Amino acid sequence: MTDLDGTDAELLALAHAIAEPDHPTKRAMADWAAVSLSHHDLVAADLESTFAPDDWARCAEHGVFGLAVPTELGGQGADLATVLLSLEGLGVGCRDNGLTFAICSQLLSSQEALVKFGTSEQQQRWLRPLIEGTALSAFALTEPEIGSDAFNLSTRAERRSDGSFVLNGHKAYITFGSRCDVVIVFASTNPAAGQWGLSAFLVPTDLDGVERLANKDKMGMRTTPFSDIVLSDVVVPESSLLGREGAGASIFNAIIQVERAFVFASQIGSMERQLSESLDYARTRIQGGQPIGAHQAVAHRLVDMKQQHETARLFLYRAAMSKTQGKDFALTSALAKLVGSETGLSSSLSSAMIHGAKGYVTEFEVERNVRDAVGGLVYSGTSDIQRNIIARHLGVG
Residues 6 or more apart in contact with residue 269 via CB below 8 angstroms: 26, 30, 87, 88, 89, 90, 91, 92, 93, 100
Rounded distance between C-alpha atoms, residue 318 and residue 314, angstroms: 6
- The C-alpha angle with vertex 231 and arms to 229 and 237, in degrees rounded to 5, equals 120
**Which residue among 88, 112, 259, 342 is the active-site one?**
259
Classify burial at 245, counting beta carbons within 10 Å of its beta carbon; exposed 0-12, middle 13-18, buried 19 or more: middle
SS3 168: strand
| 158 assigned to active site | no
Residues 6 or more apart in contact with residue 280 via CB below 8 angstroms: none
Residues 6 or more apart in contact with residue 22 via CB below 8 angstroms: none
> What is the pairing mode between strands 182-188 and 137-140?
parallel
DSSP 8-state assignment for residue 108: I
C-beta separation of 96 from 220 below 8 A: no
Rounded distance between C-alpha atoms, residue 28 and residue 49, angstroms: 29
Rounded to 10 degrees, what is the CA torsion of 140, 142, 144, 147?
-170
- Residues noted as catalytic: 259
